Amino acid sequence: MTDKSIHANSVVVESLDYEGRGIAHANGKVIFIEGALTDERVTYSSYRKKTSFEIAQLGQIIKPTFMRVQPKCKHFGVCGGCSMQHMDARAQVAAKQRILEDNLWHIGKVKAQTILPPIYGQSWGYRQRARLSVRHVLKKGKTLVGFREKRGGYVADMQHCEILTPKIAKLLPLLGQLNESFTTRDALPQIEVAIGEHVDVLVLRILQALSPADEDAIKQFADTYAVQFWLQTKGPETAVPFYPLDAPQLTYSLPEFGITMPFAPTEFTQVNADMNRVMVSRAMRLLDPQPNERIADLFCGLGNFTLPIARSGAQAVGIEGSAALVQRAAQNAAFNDLTDNTQFSVMNLFEIDEATLVQLGHFDKMLIDPPRDGAFELIKALGADAPGRIVYVSCNPATLARDAEILVHQKGYILKTAGVMNMFPHTSHVESIALFEKTQA
């Protein structure tokens, strides 16, 4: 094929979508090209074709962009854990900022008055939480431990991982060998990783009882590599410590606020502890909690924002749908001597209405940190007594934009500022924060 014919079958990538794929147009269709970057001219091979769009693999890069770099991980492109290692780390953040602004405008019809400078952290070895798949593969003659492949249900054949903490990354093939030593190689489908400040925990999801020899192998592994094992037989609530039983408790800290947070390995915490500290700091500066204010922390989890709010002297009210997390949040408040100005309760915030919200009393300010589904019903429930300031922490720019449309165009708020926080480098995940303030009218 000549250069001229190659160019005739190529496209220019216009932007990136929320999964980090290049967006181009050809033959009246939108083409989503995995591995292509903005401003590149590329060829592609479609593997999924619909009436209005196609999803394609990258073919030849005819004209690369300056943003393209060599991926650090040799498993990139096969493993589904990362999607943007081929893009310069700073350019990744700029692309995520663009995705946030595009979503706010095209979905929410809103623009922030100012854009916050993006928050960066370390690009490699940052991931302290992970759920790893485990599978004995007969054809390979070994057990694979790692993330799943980009397409399909197979476990990626990983010998190392560049985004997991270095210690855990080195253990992936060794954990595979541990499973090979078990009496039954198919009894362990999953390992959950939880890294604390004083202990590294591996939760083994076991489907049948371990033999004494299996238990001895686990104990030897724990002693050799300085980890603690937990066993989980059914749901997360069944996870219990196995060995060693005298290991330190899992904790992370927020030194700026003098707070230490104990947690269980199956409870939700941010995967990137360093970035979490910076995120909480930024949220508190935007919220600006003051003594004697009454502030709601909705979708509060184990108190990640509630306790820093309380440390300011404000009355912090944490509300969360999970009874187990609410119990943990109350325990963490006691652990940090913050019971006097904290209050926690269980409530399904996805089904809340205005009457229920009014019963909670007046809030001067509000922090909202919902899961990917956003806070649609909560935002709709805001009435005449709505707080003057809302800080919204989001892990999905599309639902943030949807909720922002209601806040700005129906509830009388202005979007003062918004920006991204690179909680998950080398992935397409966009974490962001926004400040809304009630207009005087």
Annotated binding site for S-adenosyl-L-methionine: 270, 299, 304, 320, 348, 369
Name the β-bridge partners of 130. Answer: 193
Which two three-digit tokens encode residue 243? 């060995």
Q: Show Cβ contacts of residue 430 under 8 Å, excluding neighbours closer than 6 positions.
A: 18, 96, 99, 100, 395, 396, 397, 420
Asked if residues 133 and 187 have their Cβ atoms less than 8 Å apart, the reply is no
What is the CB neighbour count within 10 angstroms for residue 40?
22
Q: What is the number of helices (H) and of strands (E) in the chain?
A: 10, 22
What residue numbers does the annotated binding site for [4Fe-4S] cluster cover?
73, 79, 82, 161
Torsion angle in degrees (nearest 10) through CA of 375, 377, 379, 380: 160
Q: Is the dihedral of CA 75, 80, 81, 83 positive or negative?
A: positive
Which two three-digit tokens encode residue 400? 């943030």
Q: List Cα–Cα distances, 312 to 257, 286, 305, 391, in angstroms.
A: 9, 13, 11, 16
Given the residues 87, 239, 296, 395, the one annotated as active site = 395
Q: List Cα–Cα distances, 248 to 265, 327, 392, in angstroms.
A: 13, 20, 34
Angle, helix 212-225 to helix 166-181, in steps of 10 degrees: 160
Distance of CA 202 to the CA centre of its chain: 19
In terms of DSSP bridges, do strands 294-298 and 365-368 run parallel, antiparallel, or are they unpaired? parallel
Q: Is 300 a catalytic residue?
A: no
Cα angle: 61, vertex 46, 12; to 5 degrees: 40
C-alpha–C-alpha distance, residues 253 and 130, integer Å: 19
What residue numbers does the annotated binding site cover?
73, 79, 82, 161, 270, 299, 304, 320, 348, 369
User: Which residues are known to be catalytic?
Assistant: 395
